Amino acid sequence: MKKKKTQDNNIVTNRKAFHDYFLEEHFEAGIALEGWEVKALRAGRVQIKESHILIKNGEVFLFAAFINPLPSASTHVFPDPQRTRKLLLHKHQIAKLIGAAQRDGYTLAPINLYWKNGFVKVDVAIAKGKKEFDKRQVNKERDWQREKARVMKNHQ
């Protein structure tokens, strides 16, 4: 039996979000892009580490995502690398995000960009901010899991 070769559809992951937030619920959103932005995403010229999601007038937007234009971009297009991009969600999903974002200590964070059926999707998470002691506790737990796995491996 021959294994199918799976291709990596991930464009970029916001690893800083895993460190700074507890991620509770995830939503898949489309994103409104221009042609030059799609070409730049295919080349991997994107950074979402400092980006964030805001809701204005019942619409969801991705702010501060940096998509670096290719040098071969068209001459009649003037690309804006940090343009505000609209996220495409259903009304019931937007209502849930609005309710979550209004709770104290919660925010909306873009987790990663990926390809799905030829379209670019954004993984949006409802995130609760971690305090400094939470971050230390997570590091201790991760170290303990590593040590436990090492001991079990040596024991066998």
Q: Is 17 helix (H, G, I), strand (E, B) or coil?
A: helix
Is the predicted pLDDT of residue 110 greater than 70, yes or no?
A: yes
Tell me how crowded residue 146 is: count the other CB atoms within 10 A of its CB.
Answer: 10
Contact 20, 110 (CB under 8 A): no
CATH number of 10-131: 2.40.280.10
Q: Name the pTM for this structure.
A: 0.79
Name residue 153's amino acid: K
Q: What is the mean pLDDT of the chain?
A: 87
The full set of domain ranges for the chain reads 10-131
Q: Give the model confidence (pLDDT) of 117-137 as tens digits.
A: 989 999 999 999 888 787 888
Q: What is the mean pLDDT of residues 138-147?
A: 89
Which residues are within 8 A (CB) of 136 and not within 5 positions of it... i.e. 6 or more apart? none
